[in-house]
Amino acid sequence: MEVTGSAIRRIDAESSLPVQVLKREDIERTGATSTVDLLRRLPAVQGSTGESASVGGSTYGFSGVSIHNVGETRTLVLLNGHRLALFGGQTLTGFAAGMDLNALPVSAIERVEILTDGASALYGADAIAGVVNFITKRDTTAGEVNIGFSRPDGGAHEKRASITKGFGSLADDGYNVVFTLARDERTALRSTDRDFASSGKVLFSNGGKNYRFQQYSASTIPGNVSNDAGNLINPYLIANGQCAPQSFRVTDGADDFCGFDFVSTLEIYPVRDRESAFVSGTKQLGNHQLFADVLWSRTKQTSRIAPVPGGISIPAGSALAQKYLEPLGITEDSTAFYRLYDLGARASKDEVNFYDIALGSKGTISKWDYEATYTRSQSRAKSNISGYPGALALAKLRASGLLDPFVLPGQQTAEATQAIQGVNYNGYWDGGKSQLDTVQVRGSTQLWDLPGGPMGLAVGANFNKEKFTNQPSLFAQGRLADPVAGVLCDENDPALACDQRFGDAAAKVPYSASRKSWGLFSEVSLPVAKQLELTAAVRYDHFSDFGRATTAKAAFRWNPTPQVLVRGSVGSGFHAPTVPQVKASPESYGVTSGKYNCANSPELAQQAAAQGAECRPGSQQYDVVAGGNPNLKPEKSRQATLGIVVEPIRQLSVGVDYWFVGIRDSFGQLAEQTVFANPNQYAGAWTSQVDVGTGKRYLAFNQGNLNLGKEYYSGIDFNIQHRAKTPVGDLNTSATATYMLRQKQQLEPNGTYYSPIGVNSDDLGTVSFRWQGRIQSTLKAGAWDHTLGMNFKTGYKDQTTTVEVLDAAGNVTGTEDIRLRVKRYYTFDWQSAWTFRKDMTLTLGLLNIFDRDPPFTLSTSGTNKGQQFGYDDRYYDPRGRTLYGNFTYRF
């Protein structure tokens, strides 16, 4: 038997490394309908990116896995023991440089093995956090059809279907073929379908006081403008004494304007369609098996957010200035911060195509068990957008006199409405392709006998070639004069000036880069006594662009009595940066998640002046610039585990494993909260960007790739299994949990350490839960299976937030910095499965039985956080109570 984490075949499945195994029946009892949902339910998984991050973020719908919050890029995902291509939509900062779980159909999975310790020898030195190995169905003639649905209240409704069938028996026919086809669809969930997420304006109480907080955009409709003093005001507010619908009044020093409630327009869970096909074929030839596995999948996701915002120049003396601004005493050139509501919502229609082909042979030669495999894997991501005009196109529309940024939605003239639709870019925007070719050969054998049994030896070699290509459109590159018509620009012809997307400077740079690597590894197991086995492994890797590295692992497995197992390991790791992290050209990288005001920060104004730029008026988001860094050093790590498994009686097993990971020269970017709080301390983190639409040069945040320093992680994983026979049936109970002891990180070499355990760190922009776990009991009674599960997370301190203090009448009396305590969170799930015929099973269940809302939070920014507000979409599911059903027919 092979176990994830070792290359040596053995009879006893219990190893010296902590491995969690989810069998097919375990997967079904969780109620998870995808590999994404399945892994997010595991207590050892923290810090993973989910589908909701695409709401306002350029993620292409990526969903990854991070063991112990050590990172998605440090968690290795395998399919039947081999590597897969990294996500085609990964960014130049390293975000999404992992495996997209959407590509793996849960219907094809027989079991999942999660190694919560780095396996440096067998799979690669970069598996610092651990390994997740998906094992598919094979050597079966069974057929199975599954049809199911999931129905939360309001939206995010799912329907799904799959079929699996096997042909031929290896033992009887000498061959076997298994195929799986699967498809699922999901509708959108709007923010207005959930009270806790429906608006950016919230009223709340804390510590006996009443408060108000407003999450908004300064680009609204009718537009705000900057007056001659550089402050934001709103002509509609001044004329009508109130803000327009979907906006609310904001006062900040001398600024008095209307903030747009973009939160009320969001689809907080995106539309998604997935389809996949998997075929596995095996042919027995004597002592050898030839095999071929082919996986293909396609995921389509549509995310919609508020209509596009941006700045529109209003020259002094223009018709708009005379009508709206001069009566307010504005005599200089101004900028309207406007939302082009009449263009409709911004939509990102993302599509990711993935395929993986594995060809190989395994068997026995002399006394060696061997396996030789060639794999090709490719992930291709592309994004089509709509609801985005060119900045120059919109400026021309304003100059023509048609566009009026100071009227309500729907009040443009018919001619203006037609012209607005005429500048709407609807087409391909950006994408990328990641490809991996791998050849691997490994073998294991038994050597001479030792006191505890035969000595085991494994050796192997691998060769990898990976390539990444970034493929932005001509519009994304800023090379079109007319994005809608596709007319190329000419920098020497003013009539053919290069346009960019309205609202952000988005001149992306295409690039393609590759690397080659090869490695050698060896592992030896030494049963030095009946009760004690030692294991040692060493690996040598050579990279075409990062030199070479030697890593090692040593482990032991000790059974002082048949009821007690003590195990432990120590090892080292090596993680080279991704190709884009090193070789990507500097380019615009979106905007900050938070809003900042130079009026409140003289240092920020000082940095703007140093860049020959100006601050944005009022509280606004700032452009971000990022790029590859050829001077990045690889990450190096040390890992260790120490655990004990006790079985005092046959019906009870208790496992406790301590784990530790230390990393130096960690990859990352300076956190925006830290830099904006100390602008002069990070003088190298500033640059400038020209707003194409207004021609103004604004301060921008330079958030490139850096080696930040050291990181340390440690914790304890608990695993308890109990089996009992009751008068009504067999009762099986499991409890798994992770307790985080330590997580601390530096943001610069030799700098201060920051920890996110139990706190939404202002500096790190993330949370690690002190406790996270799941308890599940299943009662098997005749034809019925009943499962009750409980999921829990501990609470934490929220980010520090400036809020408005209200008196008893609801009037604002001042501001205060507060740090809320986000409550602990737990939900219960129920499932009943009825096998009413030998070949048919009907399953009904409820997730989140008591419809518990996510805990309230004021956080507005953080690593991979979407635009959702009122709850943290990274850690909590907004779908609420969900009824689901599955019908299974076996043949």
Nearest one of 756, 743, 664 to 710, comparing CA atoms: 664
**Helix segments in 533-601, DSSP class H:** 579-583
Half-sphere exposure of 694 (CA within 13 A, CB side): 25
pLDDT of residue 142: 95
- The pLDDT score that the predictor gives to residue 11 is 40
Q: How many residues does the chain have?
A: 891
- Check residue 731 and give left, alpha or beta (phi > 0: left; psi -120 to 50: alpha): beta
CA dist 859 and 192 (Å) reads 19
Q: What is the pLDDT of residue 589?
A: 82
pLDDT at 857: 96
841, 783 in Cβ contact below 8 A?
A: no
Closest CA to 532 of 552, 498, 505, 556: 556
Which tens digit of pLDDT belongs to each residue from 698-742? 999 998 899 999 999 999 999 999 999 999 999 999 999 999 999
Predicted confidence at residue 3, as pLDDT, reads 58
Average pLDDT of 846-866? 93
List, for residues 818-828, the tens digit of each pLDDT value.
999 999 999 99
At 124, the pLDDT band (50, 70, 90 cuts) reads: confident
Q: What is the C-alpha separation between 448 and 451, in angstroms, rounded?
A: 10
Task: Identify the bridge partners of residue 699 per DSSP, sorted by sequence position.
Answer: 688
Percent pLDDT > 70 in the chain is 98
- Considering the four listed CATH numbers 1.20.1050.10, 2.40.170.20, 2.40.50.140, 3.30.565.10, the one that applies to the domain covering 19-192+269-304+349-383+433-469+513-580+633-669+707-890 is 2.40.170.20
Specify the long-range contacts of residues 321-327, CB closer than 8 Å, at least 24 apart: 323/406, 324/225, 324/235, 324/406, 325/225, 325/235
Query: What pLDDT shows up at residue 684?
Result: 86
CA distance 22 to 1: 16
Structure letter (DSSP) for residue 217: B
Give the C-alpha separation, 238 to 227, whole Å: 13
pTM score above 0.85? yes
Predicted confidence at residue 506, as pLDDT, reads: 64
pLDDT surpasses 70 at 170: yes
Q: Is pLDDT above 80 for 399?
A: yes
Mean pLDDT of 270-279: 97
Mean pLDDT of 752-763: 92
